[in-house]
Amino acid sequence: MNNNSFEWLRLDNAAKIFPGQNTRSWSNVFRVGVQLKQEIDPQKLEKALDSTLKRIPGYAVRIRKGFFWHYFEKNPNPCPIMHDIKNLCYRINFKENNGYLFRLYYHGNRISVDIYHALSDGYGGAVFLSTLVGEYLRLCGFEISHNRFVLDVNEPPKKEEIEDAYNRYASSKVKYDRKDKWVYHSVGTKLPRHRCNYVIGIMSFEQIHSISKKYGVTVTEFFAAILLDIHYRKQLREAKKQREVSVQIPVNLRKAFPSETLRNFVLCLRVKIDPNMGEYTFEEILRSVSLQLRLVNNDKFLNSMMTQNLKIERNPVMKYLPLPIKTLGVGIGFGITAEQTTSTLISNLGPVVLPPDMAKHVERFFFFNGPGKLNGARCAAISLGDELTFTFSNCYEESDIEREFFTRLVKMGVHVKIESNRD
């Protein structure tokens, strides 16, 4: 492989588990989307996609089976673009969509990309979409500048953008000890296969930041504490036997370990409370969440987690097991333990920073986690300027978690506009 091209590519450390988790009804998929101030021209969008895939070749791949591991190879087929659908983030079939591991949709003035997590994380997806939209707007006749989110499609790809950053940075000598219990889950009436209910809350970032600052926490800590409190109090109403309540929070490792990779480079932390220890006020939960995260969200602890994950991959027994046995083992393990150690998930991608000449054409960004197998209301947040969008993706008919979450924000003085695909 030279500096800017490849014929095949190993899956990164995080990606290797995802093919084994695939079922007929579920894949680990997320969505990033953007709403422009003009209707989408599909022909220009198709041209922009062709240019973007040349600049970000890590998306121009299909997945193949090796003897020991899955791998990516260049995809020579054209990538289709489609009208958007009501149910986002449905499962990935490796033989559909001309073999591509993402689906590009348009509807009205929106462009959306459903991305298989083996390809990339949320940050990489935001760069891919921003670069695509930047090129689309240029084809529409606008002058658009470049930055770290909006890459220049006329430049050659960088080798650093397709590196496995886990393999580069994992170097800890400390063993990370996993001791997660099975936790409470808010369940309900399961939707039919491939269905997903979503709710979007659009609000002011400055309002949220001001409230978080008043409590002495970050925006992510504030959101996580509300979710913990809602699940904690719901379990108190529902059950006599109380389990821990846990929120999973993906962390962008690029903030601690400098990397330009557009592939996966995240680790998931968990914050939790145990109702059996006594009653909690919301302020106590806020303090607990903040202390838990600040204890572990540092380069040394994160490095120990990375290193432990790589040790599993490099274990001689695991390394040389044939792929069908690995896939079967991952599938059985995931089928038994999937999401059992987390009550819900909040992934805050943070601000997307666009060049000013591009930002004036964009109304807002969206970020969705795919619906869980067990977890109901899975959450994601992203912001552009002063506009923050907070989304719920739900595999159940019930919407009590979403309703309670946004009601609490409104009671705190936050103005929230709601959109949904629910009837």
pLDDT above 80 for 5 = no
- N-term to C-term CA, the chain: 51
Q: What is the pLDDT of residue 423?
A: 65
**Euclidean distance between CA atoms 344 and 163, whole angstroms:** 30
Instruction: Check for a shared fold between 8-161 and 197-420.
Output: yes
Bridge pairing between strands 102-107 and 81-83:
parallel
User: How many CB atoms are closer than 10 A to CB 357?
Assistant: 13
Q: What is the pLDDT of residue 231?
A: 97
Q: Binning pLDDT at 50, 70 and 90, where does residue 239 land?
A: confident
Nearest CA to 20 out of 302, 321, 315, 311 is that of 321
Residues 43-70: pLDDT tens digits? 999 999 999 999 999 999 999 999 999 9
Backbone angles phi, psi at 209, to 5 degrees: -65, -40
Tokens of 221: 């800590």
Any idea which architecture 197-420 has in CATH?
A: 2-Layer Sandwich (3.30)
Q: Binning pLDDT at 50, 70 and 90, where does residue 1 land?
A: very low
- Domain assignments of the chain as residue spans, ordered by start: 8-161, 197-420
Percent residues over pLDDT 70 in the chain: 99
**Euclidean distance between CA atoms 134 and 140, whole angstroms:** 10
Tell me the average pLDDT across 336-363.
95
Q: What is the pLDDT of residue 3?
A: 45
Q: Is the dihedral of CA 70, 74, 76, 81 positive or negative?
A: positive
- Strand order across the beta sheet in which 81-83 lies: 81-83, 102-107, 110-116, 29-36, 362-369
Bridge pairing between strands 110-116 and 102-107:
antiparallel
Q: Binning pLDDT at 50, 70 and 90, where does residue 337 land?
A: confident
Contact at 8 Å (CB) between 417 and 210? no
Q: Binning pLDDT at 50, 70 and 90, where does residue 240 land?
A: confident
**Euclidean distance between CA atoms 232 and 325, whole angstroms:** 39
Nearest CA to 57 out of 157, 168, 199 is that of 157
Tell me the average pLDDT across 102-129.
98
Contact at 8 Å (CB) between 163 and 263? yes
Tell me the average pLDDT across 200-218.
97
Contact at 8 Å (CB) between 395 and 192? no
Q: What is the pLDDT of residue 318?
A: 82
Contact at 8 Å (CB) between 225 and 285? yes
**Euclidean distance between CA atoms 48 and 135, whole angstroms:** 5
Q: What is the pLDDT of residue 4?
A: 52
Tell me the average pLDDT across 144-171.
95
pLDDT above 60 for 2 = no
Q: What's the pTM?
A: 0.95
**Euclidean distance between CA atoms 39 and 351, whole angstroms:** 24
Query: Which residue shows structure tokens 């269905």?
Result: 195
Tell me the average pLDDT across 81-90.
93
- Strand order across the beta sheet in which 266-273 lies: 266-273, 245-252, 344-351, 378-384, 387-394, 197-204, 417-420
Residues 357-384: pLDDT tens digits? 999 999 999 999 999 888 889 999 999 9
CATH of 8-161, one of 3.40.50.720, 3.30.559.10, 1.10.10.10, 1.25.40.10: 3.30.559.10
Q: What is the pLDDT of residue 313?
A: 85
Three-state secondary structure string covering the chain: CCCCCCCEEECCCCHHHHHHHCCCCCCCEEEEEEEECCCCCHHHHHHHHHHHHHHCHHHCEEEEECCCCEEEEECCCCCCEEECCCCCCCCCCCCCHHHCCEEEEEECCEEEEEEECCCCCHHHHHHHHHHHHHHHHHHCCCCCCCCCCCCCCCCCCCHHHHCCHHHHHCCCCCCCCCCCCCCCCCCCCECCCCCCEEEEEEEEHHHHHHHHHHHCCCHHHHHHHHHHHHHHHHHHHHCCCCCCEEEEEEEEHHHCCCCCCCCCCEEEEEEEECHHHCCCCHHHHHHHHHHHHHHHCCHHHHHHHHHHHHHHHHCHHHHCCCHHHHHHHHHHHHHHHCCCCCCEEEEEEEECCCCHHHHCCEEEEEEEECCCCCCCCEEEEEEECCEEEEEEEECECCCHHHHHHHHHHHHCCCCCEEEECCC
